[in-house]
Amino acid sequence: MPNLEHDPMPSQAPEKPKTARPKRLGLIGVVIVVIAIAIAANGIIGRTSSKATLAQWTAAQAIPSVKVIKPIAGTGTQELILPGNIEAFYEAPIYARVSGYVKMWYQDIGAKVKAGQLLAEIDTPDLDQQLAQAKADLGTAQATASLAEIGARRWQALQNTESVSQQAVDEHTGDAAAKKANVAASQANVQRLLAMENFKRITAPFDGVVTARKTDIGALINAGSGSGAGPELFSVADIHQMRVYVKVPQAQAALLKPGMTAKLKLPQYPDRLFDATLTASANAVARDSRSLLVQLLADNKDGLLWSGTFAEVHFQLPANPDILHVPTGAVLFRQNGAEVAVVGTDGKITLKPVELGRDLGTTVEIRSGITVSDLVVDGPSDSIDNGDQVKIADATVAQSVHK
């Protein structure tokens, strides 16, 4: 058996150097570092891009959007609406010409009457007594004049006998003439009182309608009108046609000519319009209101137009092509006066002073300052100013501006 104690150990293969594993670990580390750097770089680039995008978005959001319109030139006709007052063609307050008591009235408000129709009667005891006395005075004057005439003729006959003087004849002749004149005066007084007796009957002065009755049976009436006199008894109006009075501002006064037609709109008839024709002008501007008073006539066959009524008077005027129209909200009122904001091709604001015309409610007239090609900001903010950068809300309009 072999001697195991003295035999050397079997030979073994030499160990390889331990270098492969560290190399692999280093390569993995490099890869990890590269990946980490790439991830970090990507994050940094992403954050930078996001910040730039955010900055751009924020800057874009900071530019206000505006709505723009183009001014409209006047075409066709333009409507001028003014307040007017409707009055009767004729209207007369009726007063008593004699004093007394109302005996009876026969017509009340709304009654249609003819010229000369009886409205009321007045009982006049004082006037009746005056008339009776005047008739008696006339009888006395007539008797005295007759006696004086007889005496004058006798004295004239005696003159031929030369038994009386010429002076005496002349005196009696003159006395007879004076007595005759007294008769004429007494007759005139009687006729005056008879005429006053006719005023006991209150009658309508023309065909029309009774618009007021301001008396009643038994009321004490004083003659005449004005301060200290009796009250108005009746009012009668001729309403077959109505007069419409309108105060036209001086700026539009030259546009209205006799013969022009207009439409009347009344609050009590909201769904109906009435025709009227301009017939006369005062040809003078009132100093207090700087307005021209014009008169229109409107037929009133159906009696729907009433005296004292307010009416909207709609005039149709020829349009002025040189006058532009913009929404009322597009006008700015500042220290320098009226202005509008106009957007230029560069998207910047220019404030243009304008001369205003009429305010038509939703729109206003622009007489000068802008053109039909200007892009006017509709409803600009109070803070808008020259040079402000804006963007147009309507993309189509915006593209046409930048072409």
Q: Are residues 397 and 287 in the same domain?
A: no
Give the HSE-up count for residue 336: Cα atoms under 13 Å, Cβ half-sphere: 8
pLDDT at 391: 87
Residue 9 lies in a domain: no
Q: What is the CATH number of the domain that holds 286?
A: 2.40.30.170
- Per residue in 42-72, pLDDT (tens digit) is 666 666 666 666 555 555 556 888 999 999 8
Residue 164 lies in a domain: yes
209 φ/ψ angles, rounded to the nearest 5 degrees? -130, 145
Residue 180 lies in a domain: yes
Are 332 and 341 within 8 A, CB to CB? yes
Residue 77 lies in a domain: no
Q: Are residues 245 and 347 in the same domain?
A: no
Q: Are residues 173 and 114 in the same domain?
A: yes
Residue 42 lies in a domain: no
Of the three residues 300, 318, 336, the one that is the final residue of a domain is 318
DSSP code per residue over 371-395: -TT-EEESS--TT--TT-B-EES-H
pLDDT at 6: 46
Residue 133 lies in a domain: yes
Q: How many domains does the chain have?
A: 3
The Cα 338–Cα 272 span in angstroms is 38
- Per residue in 93-149, pLDDT (tens digit) is 999 999 999 999 999 999 999 999 999 999 999 999 999 999 999 999 999 988 888
Of the three residues 289, 318, 347, the one that is the final residue of a domain is 318
Q: Are residues 278 and 364 in the same domain?
A: no
- Choose the weakest-confidence range: 72-76, 88-92, 121-125, 284-288: 72-76
Range of the domain at 280: 238-318
Residue 7 lies in a domain: no
pLDDT at 5: 45
Residue for token digits 């007052």? 85
pLDDT band at 246 (very low <50, low <70, confident <90, very high): very high
Q: Are residues 96 and 203 in the same domain?
A: yes
pLDDT at 199: 93
Residue 228 lies in a domain: no
Of the three residues 318, 349, 376, the one that is the final residue of a domain is 318
Q: Are residues 262 and 154 in the same domain?
A: no
End-to-end CA distance of the chain: 113
Q: Are residues 326 and 312 in the same domain?
A: no
For the cut 50, the answer to whether the pLDDT of residue 386 exceeds it is yes
Q: Are residues 208 and 101 in the same domain?
A: yes
Q: Are residues 215 and 265 in the same domain?
A: no
Q: Note if the pTM is more than 0.85.
A: no
Extended strands (E) in 214-354? 220-221, 234-249, 261-266, 269-285, 291-299, 310-318, 324-327, 331-334, 337-343, 349-353
Residue range 267-272: mean pLDDT, rounded: 94
The Cα 106–Cα 217 span in angstroms is 10
Q: Are residues 363 and 300 in the same domain?
A: no
Q: What is the CATH number of the domain that holds 345?
A: 2.40.420.20
For residue 32, CA distances in Å to 25, 36, 74, 251 come to: 10, 6, 78, 88
pLDDT at 25: 65
